[in-house]
Structure 1
Amino acid sequence: MLAMSEVNCIKLLRNRKSLSINEISKTLGINWRTAKKYADDDQVPKEMVKKKSGMMYEENLGEIVSDWLGEDEKLKKKLRRTNKKIFNDLVKMGFTGSYRTLCYFIADWREGKDRIEEERDKNSERLDHPPAEAQVDFGITEAVKDGKYIDVHCLLMTLPYSNAAYCIPLPGENQECFLHGLKAMFNQLGGVPKKVRIDNLKAAVIQPRGRNQEATFTDEFLQFASHYGFEPQVCNPRSGHEKGNVENKVGYIRYNFVTPSPVINNLEHLSQILEEHLTKDRERVHYEKHVPIRKLLEEEHQYLLALPDEDYPVFKEELMQANKYGEIVIDKTKVHIPKGYNYGQLHVIKYWDKFKVISPYGEILHAEYRPYMNKSRKIPWSSILKSWLHKPRVVTYSRYSPYLPGRIYEYINISNLSIRKKRLKWLISLLANHEMGEINDRFYELLNDQTEEMYEPDSHPYDVNWAMYDELQSPSREGSDKV
C-alpha cells in the first residue's frame, strides 16, 4: 500500500500533467496496475466492519440460542436455563462445538443486549414512554342492572408506548378489588409490564412519597408485585400529570363506551363489553406514531414479563367477633351469621365479590356476595315519565328507553301520541305506590284493573284473548268430565 504522498504524486501526474498510465509507471517505477488503481480510482475511506465468524454465527445454532435466551429473560432467574442445560440441548440437535464456544457466544450476546438496552433506555427517556411500562388508575361510572343504577369502579391500565388500554369493572376500590383487577388485566394482556405506576391508592400505599421519603407500600401489594415481577412506582402527591396517559384514557372510555349507561346482567357482562370495545379501538391509528395501536402493542409484547405459572389467589383474612345478635360488619353493613355468637372469634375470608365466615373448628357458617355487590340506586322514573308526558315523541329516542322493561316499553311506544300520553299518565299514577319492577311483574293484573277510559278500544298492543289463558290454568267443566 502506497503512502499518501505517493498517491498524491500519481494523481498530480495523471490529472495535472496529463501523463498516461504507462508513463506514470515508468516515471515512478511502479507496477502498471498500481498506477492505474491510484490514478483513476477514487480512494474513499471505508468503515471496517468486523464480521463475526465461527460455527455459532455461520450456522443457525446461534439464532436458536438467541431465541432461547430471549425467552428466558422474561422468566424468573430460577426458571431460566443454565449454560450447561443449553449446551446439552444443543448437543442433542447435532452441535459439535465445545462448551467454551457456547459460553463465549452467550457472553457476547448478553454484552450486546446490555449495550442495546442502554441505547434504548436513553431513547425512551427522551420519549417519556418506554415500552412495557404501565399506568393504573380507577374511574367511576354507572350501569343499569335489574332496572336500577349501580356505581361501577373501573380499574384502568394503559401502556403509554402503544396507547393500548385494558379495563376491569369492579364494585369497589379496596385491596381485594384492586389486586383482582390487576390480575385480570395482566391475563388479558398476556404478559406483565416491567413497571406499574399508580397514584396514592389506599389499597396499595400506606405512606405517600414525601420530600425526602419514599412511598411505603402495603405488604400485600408488595407480595403481589413480587409474584408477578413488576416494579411498583408511585406518583408524587397531587401530581396526576405524572400518569397523564391513564388519566386521559379514563375520560375517553367513559364518554365513548359507557355513555349512556349500558344495560348489563352483571359485572362480568360489562367486562366483556369493555373488552370488545377496547379490542376494536386498537385498530385506531396512534395519534403521534401514525401506526395502528394493535401493531405497536404487538411490538411491545416482546418487552413484557411472562405470566407466572402459578395462579395468585386474591383474598383478605380477618378475625371478627359477632355481637349478641350474631352480626358482624362487612363493608360497613351488618350481616347476620347463623350461630355466630356461639364462638369467640370468627375467621372471615374476603374475596373481591364474595366472603365466607368460618368457625374456629373449620366449619363454614356463612357464604354469600359482599354487601356492596347489591348496592343500587333507583332510576327516577316519575320525573322521567313526566318529562316524556310533555314531549311524548322523545320516548322512542330517549336514553332512558332501553332501561324500561320490555313489555312496558312496548305498551307506551305506540304511534298514536294521544294514547301514548294516556298510558304515560297511567304509569305515573302507578309509580306513586309501586316500584317499576313491581309494575312489570304485575303488568297484566294492573292493566286489567284500569278503567275503560284509560285507553280506546283496539288500542292494546297485544291482541290477547284472556279467557283462553284462564282455561289453560284451570280445566273446564266439560274437559274434566271426559276420561
Structure 2
Amino acid sequence: MSVQENIRTLDSHGIAGREIARRLGVSRDAVTKYAGQQDYSPKPPAPVARPTGSAMTGFEATVEKWLGEDQRRPRKQRHTAKRVFDRLVAERAFTGSYSPVQRFVKKWNALHRQAGEGFTELVWPAGTAQVDFGQAEAIIAGIRQVLHIFVVTFPFSNMRFVQAYRGETAECVCHGLRTVFDLIGAAPRHLVFDNATGIGRRVGTKVVETKLFGAFKLHYRSESRYCNPYSGNEKGNVENAVGFLRRNLMVPEPEAATLQGLNAVLMARCMALAEATHYRKGLPVSELFAQDVAASLALPGVGFDPVRYESRTADKTGNLLIDGNTYAAGSSFHSRTLTVGLRHDVVEILDEHATPVRSFPRAFGRQTETIFEPASLLPLLVTKPGAWGHSQLRPLVPEPVRDWLDKATATNRRRLLNAVDAASGSAGFDAAINAADLLIQRGDIPEIAALGMLARRLADGATPAAENVDLSVYDVFTTDIFITVNTVTGEIA
C-alpha cells in the first residue's frame, strides 16, 4: 500500500497522529495532511507545462511487466538489470544510461521479495464485503440487452446488493461501490475481489491496481484483498450471490425505461431480501447487517467522483478515438489536445482550460458509426452549406426541414442552419429543429428571430396553436369614421 493509504488506514483505527508518524517514519505534517484530506476524487489535469522526468519515465510499465512475468520462470532464467537495460535499448529505443535502470530493478526486486499476495479467509468478520460481476439480460426501453451485474455481498450477514452496468470498467466498479456505500451510510473496511476484475490485473503474484481505484480506496480508507486466479471458493459468498440474484431478481427479464430505473428497482428488491432469516445463524439478515455497518468505516464528508481523465488529440475533423470508438468533439477542435473524462455512463470532453464542451452517453463495445452531438455539426455546415447533402445531420432532421434544405439555395440554406445553430445554444437542438419544422409546415420563413423565439417556447413546454388566427375581429378598426366638429364650442361629435 502507498504511504497515504497506510496513514489513512491507521487513522481509521483510531491511532494518534504522533504514533502514526513514528510507525511509518513520516512527519506529523504528512499525517495531518493525508488523514484530514476529505476528497480524493480525480481532478482534470491543470493546463501547466510538465516538468522534466527521469530517464525511466515512460518505461516503468514495460520493465514492471518483464519483471512480473519472471515470477513464473525458473530463478536462473530471470531478468538481470543488465538484461533489462539491453532489451530497453534494442526493443524500446531507450537512450538513458545503465544506472537508472539498475536502480529501478534493484528497488523493484526489494519490494517484491515476498510472494503469495492475496488472502484466503473462511471466517469473515463483520465489515468485510466481497465484490464480483456476472451477466444477465434485461429489457431497457423495449430493447433486450446483455448487462453486467455488479454484486456486493457482506458474508457475515449475507446481505446482498446488485446494480446493472453496460461494462466492467473501473468507473463502473467505483460507481457501484459508492452507490452501496451511500445507501448503507458506511464503507466496509475490507473489499475482497477475484483476479482484480475491472480495477487492475494480476501478473504472477503482483496485483497492479488502476489509479482510479487506488484513489477510491484512499478516499474511503478501505483495504483491498485479491483471491488467487480461478479460485472462486475463496469468495464463495459473492459467487453464490451472483447466481441467486440473477435467478430471483431477473427471472423473467426485468423491464425498465432506463438503466437508472432498473437499478432503482433492483436496489429496492435487495433491501426487501434483508427481511429473510440467515440460512445458518437463524437471525434476520437485517439484524446481522446492522453489525456489518457498525464494524465499517464512517463515510467522508464528500462523495467520491468516479471519473478517469485522459488526454486525447483530435484529428483534422475534430474526432477523438476513445476506447476504440470515435466521438465527435466538433470541427472547431481539430488538431487540439483535449481532456476526456470517462464515467460509467458518460464521456465528457473538456478543452485546454478544463471547461466542458461536449458530453456523450458512453458506448461499450465497438460502434461502427461516429458518436456525435447533432448541434456540434451546425457551425461547420453554416460555413460550408454545400456539405449538407452528405452530412451526418441530414438523416436526423424531420422530412419537411430536410426537403426545404435540399431544395434551398446555398444562401437560404446557410440562413436556416445559422438560425437553428443560434436557437440550439439557448433552447437545445431538438427544440430548435422542431421550431424550424413548425415554421416550414405553416409556410412561414424560418428567420433567426422567429425560430429562436418559437424554440424557446417549445423548450419551456409551451405548445403553439396550430390553427389559423381569425383576424376578422379587427375589421371594425378599418371602417370609415366621420368626425363632426362644432366650430363655436370646439366639441367633437
Structure 2 SS opposite 1:215? strand
1:267 to 259, 266, 271: 259
Looking at structure 1, the residues matched to 332 and 198 of structure 2 have their Cα atoms a distance apart, in angstroms, of 29
Q: Give the structure 2 partner of residue 166 of structure 1.
A: 161
Q: Give the structure 2 partner of residue 236 of structure 1.
A: 228
> Quick check: 1:297 aligned with 2:280?
no
On the 8 A contact 1:356/1:367 being kept in 2, the answer is: yes
> Quick check: 1:144 aligned with 2:139?
yes
On the 8 A contact 1:171/1:373 being kept in 2, the answer is: no
Looking at structure 1, the residues matched to 121 and 301 of structure 2 have their Cα atoms a distance apart, in angstroms, of 35
> Quick check: 1:253 aligned with 2:216?
no
Looking at structure 2, the residues matched to 482 and 222 of structure 1 have their Cα atoms a distance apart, in angstroms, of 74
Structure 2 SS opposite 1:319? strand
On the 8 A contact 1:330/1:370 being kept in 2, the answer is: no
On the 8 A contact 1:339/1:365 being kept in 2, the answer is: no
Deviation of the 1:219 alpha carbon: 3.0
Q: Give the structure 2 partner of residue 182 of structure 1.
A: 177
Larger Rg: 1
Which amino acid counterpart does residue 177 of structure 1 have in structure 2?
A: C
Looking at structure 2, the residues matched to 258 and 300 of structure 1 have their Cα atoms a distance apart, in angstroms, of 26
C-alpha RMSD over aligned residues: 3.3
> Quick check: 1:326 aligned with 2:318?
yes
Which amino acid counterpart does residue 342 of structure 1 have in structure 2?
A: H
Deviation of the 1:136 alpha carbon: 0.1
Deviation of the 1:166 alpha carbon: 1.3
Looking at structure 1, the residues matched to 249 and 185 of structure 2 have their Cα atoms a distance apart, in angstroms, of 23
Deviations along 1:15-70, whole A, 9 cap, x unmatched? xxxxxxxxxxxxxxxxxxxxxxxxxxxxxxxxxxxxxxxxxxxxxxxxxxxxxxxx
Q: Give the structure 2 partner of residue 223 of structure 1.
A: 215
Looking at structure 2, the residues matched to 148 and 374 of structure 1 have their Cα atoms a distance apart, in angstroms, of 18
User: Residues 165 and 79 of structure 1: is their aligned pair in 2 closer, same or farther, counting only changes over 3 Å?
Assistant: farther
Looking at structure 2, the residues matched to 241 and 202 of structure 1 have their Cα atoms a distance apart, in angstroms, of 16
Which amino acid counterpart does residue 290 of structure 1 have in structure 2?
A: G
> How do residues 270-419 of structure 1 correspond to structure 2 at under 5 angstroms?
270-339=262-331, 341-372=333-364
Deviation of the 1:79 alpha carbon: 9.4
Looking at structure 2, the residues matched to 245 and 474 of structure 1 have their Cα atoms a distance apart, in angstroms, of 65
On the 8 A contact 2:232/2:239 being kept in 1, the answer is: yes
**Of the two structures, which has the highest relative contact order with CA contacts closer than 8 Å and spacing of 6 or more?**
2
Which amino acid counterpart does residue 260 of structure 1 have in structure 2?
A: P
On the 8 A contact 1:353/1:373 being kept in 2, the answer is: no
Structure 1 SS opposite 2:293? helix
Deviations along 1:331-355, whole A, 9 cap, x unmatched? 4221111135534311111122112
Q: Give the structure 2 partner of residue 157 of structure 1.
A: 152
Q: Give the structure 1 partner of residue 123 of structure 2.
A: 128
User: Residues 159 and 372 of structure 1: is their aligned pair in 2 closer, same or farther, counting only changes over 3 Å?
Assistant: same
On the 8 A contact 1:136/1:155 being kept in 2, the answer is: yes
Deviation of the 1:280 alpha carbon: 1.1
Looking at structure 2, the residues matched to 140 and 277 of structure 1 have their Cα atoms a distance apart, in angstroms, of 18
Which amino acid counterpart does residue 136 of structure 1 have in structure 2?
A: V
Q: Give the structure 1 partner of residue 427 of structure 2.
A: none
Which amino acid counterpart does residue 320 of structure 2 have in structure 1?
A: I
On the 8 A contact 2:153/2:161 being kept in 1, the answer is: yes
Structure 1 SS opposite 2:181? helix
Which amino acid counterpart does residue 228 of structure 1 have in structure 2?
A: Y
Q: What are structure 2's unaligned runs of at least 5 residues? A: 1-9, 19-119, 368-464, 475-493
Q: Percent sequence identity over matched residues?
A: 29
What's the TM-score once normalised by structure 2's chain length?
Answer: 0.49
Which amino acid counterpart does residue 243 of structure 2 have in structure 1?
A: G
Deviation of the 1:299 alpha carbon: 2.4
On the 8 A contact 1:143/1:263 being kept in 2, the answer is: yes
Structure 2 SS opposite 1:284? coil
On the 8 A contact 2:311/2:340 being kept in 1, the answer is: yes
Deviation of the 1:161 alpha carbon: 0.7
On the 8 A contact 2:319/2:328 being kept in 1, the answer is: yes
On the 8 A contact 1:168/1:185 being kept in 2, the answer is: no
Structure 1 SS opposite 2:256? coil
Deviation of the 1:214 alpha carbon: 3.8
Looking at structure 1, the residues matched to 134 and 177 of structure 2 have their Cα atoms a distance apart, in angstroms, of 14
On the 8 A contact 2:192/2:227 being kept in 1, the answer is: yes
Q: What are structure 1's unaligned runs of at least 5 residues? A: 1-71, 81-124, 376-471
On the 8 A contact 2:150/2:176 being kept in 1, the answer is: yes
What's the TM-score once normalised by structure 1's chain length?
Answer: 0.50
Looking at structure 2, the residues matched to 235 and 202 of structure 1 have their Cα atoms a distance apart, in angstroms, of 11
Looking at structure 2, the residues matched to 203 and 126 of structure 1 have their Cα atoms a distance apart, in angstroms, of 22
Q: Give the structure 2 partner of residue 116 of structure 1.
A: none
Deviations along 1:77-100, whole A, 9 cap, x unmatched? 5799xxxxxxxxxxxxxxxxxxxx
